[in-house]
Amino acid sequence: MTYRCTGCGSTWSDEKLAEEKRNNPKLISCCPERKMQPETWGVSVSVFGENILTIESAHLSGVSNIDSYTETIRNCAHHLLSFIGDSHGERRDTEKQP
Ligand SMILES: [Zn+2]
């Protein structure tokens, strides 16, 4: 599990921060608000307001008839990729998706 500072986004552990302080005595912290939180993520798919699938960094759940929703889940995945763009930084044509 990666921990990240909510103030500045630093992933320095307390040990790494102590090492950096030895190299730079003026360094107080990664930022004044240093607050390390576990870096978690999650995505959920709902149909008509009902949650049918949830995938999180430490959790997975879905309805028992999840196979009935394969096209809906694929469609949601395409929309996620369209929104953020693919790994090459190009956005897909959302108009082709229903
Ligand atoms: Zn910080």
| CA–CA distance, 11 with 57 (Å, rounded to integer) | 17
Q: How many whole angstroms from 26 Cα to the centroid of ligand 1?
A: 15
pLDDT at 97: 47
**Mean pLDDT rounded to a whole number for the chain:** 88
Interval between CA 89 and ligand 1 midpoint (Å):
28
Q: What is the mean pLDDT of residues 6-19?
A: 91
* Cα 78 to averaged position of ligand 1 atoms, centre (Å): 34
In whole angstroms, give the CA distance from residue 16 to residue 19. Answer: 5
User: What is the distance between the alpha carbons of residues 49 and 85, in angstroms, rounded to a whole number?
Assistant: 26
C-alpha span between 62 and 87 (Å, rounded): 27
Query: Is the whole-model pTM more than 0.85?
Result: no
21-67, pLDDT tens digit by residue? 999 988 888 888 899 999 999 999 999 999 999 999 999 999 999 99
- What's the 4 CA to ligand 1 centre distance in angstroms? 8
Rg of the chain, C-alpha, whole Å: 20
The pLDDT of residue 31 is: 84
C-alpha 53 to ligand 1 mean position (Å): 34
Whether the predicted pLDDT of 98 surpasses 50: no
